[in-house]
Amino acid sequence: MTISVPKSLNALNSAVLTEMGQFIDTVDCKRFRCMIITGDGEKSFVAGADISEMSTLDPAGGMAFGRRGADVFRKIETLPIPVIAAVGGYALGGGCELALACDIRICSDNAKFGQPEVGLGIIPGFSGTMRLPRVVGMGMAKQLIYSAETIKADEALRIGLVNAIVSREQLMEEALRIANRIAANAPIAVAAAKRCINAEFDLDADKGIDFENKEFGQCFATNDQKEGMKAFLQKGKYEYRGE
């Protein structure tokens, strides 16, 4: 999915958010095994929520706008296939939050990340206050959000906000390399692993262990598990079918 709003460095307005939600609803997760989200152009992934649209909002309008974005980002987070953010350039505000809703983040060496919202009199409104601390830890998240400071790719890598930095030219190549690695594995198992990792974050240890145990057991109901293990024991390779 490529976000393309050339006049505003791919800022997210209501129409774009609606279109993103509709597009995600149509993704056939039985056919496709991974999704990559990127921004159009060299300069920006997403330069935030659309400031000109937000400038006219009242509290109820702000809540509705925030909810629209939060719902789309939650769809990404709970999509049955992994989602990779390929961040080329600015990932500010809602752009950083979009990357945070993805499972995996990689970026180009010209990428810049930040949550500039408090410098505009608002707070991160697409679940950034929730997801940023989960990814980089409470202390660093608080510093980034309170200071509205923008950080470069190498600092994003250092604090664990991204998994890798590559050149702008290699960005999609690297995203596709990771996607292809994922796509070669048993898709039902990958989806189960995603459900577990997401759910366990909110559960205590005993409930988390139970959740994983159930999902683990269910894997043994799949043909992919049987064929994959048989192929391993026979020193062969099985092409997973998602069944």
* Interface ranges with ligand DAK (CB under 6 A): 8-9, 11, 47-52, 62-63, 65-66, 69, 90, 92-94, 116-117, 120, 122-126
* Residue 215 among the catalytic residues: no
* Residue 53 among the catalytic residues: no
As a whole number of angstroms, the distance between CA 106 and CA 52 comes to 29
Q: Name the DSSP letter for residue 127.
A: S
Catalytic choice (53, 117, 155, 243): 117
Q: Name the DSSP letter for residue 220.
A: T
Q: DSSP string of 66-131?
A: HHHHHHHHHHHHH-SS-EEEEE-SEEETHHHHHHHHSSEEEEETT-EEE--GGGGT----SSHHHH
Q: Minimum Å distance from CB 97 to ligand DAK?
A: 7
Q: Minimum Å distance from CB 63 to ligand DAK?
A: 6
Residue with smaller CB distance to ligand DAK, 93 or 228:
93
Region of 73 on the Ramachandran plot (φ > 0 left; ψ -120 to 50 alpha; else beta) = alpha
As a whole number of angstroms, the distance between CA 204 and CA 202 comes to 7
Catalytic choice (53, 77, 97, 215): 97
Q: Minimum Å distance from CB 84 to ligand DAK?
A: 21
Residue with smaller CB distance to ligand DAK, 88 or 93:
93
Residue number closest to ligand DAK, CB atom: 125
Q: Name the DSSP letter for residue 85.
A: E
Q: Minimum Å distance from CB 64 to ligand DAK?
A: 8
As a whole number of angstroms, the distance between CA 224 and CA 238 comes to 8
User: Cα 60 to chain center, whole Å?
Assistant: 27
Instruction: Report the catalytic residues.
Output: 97, 117
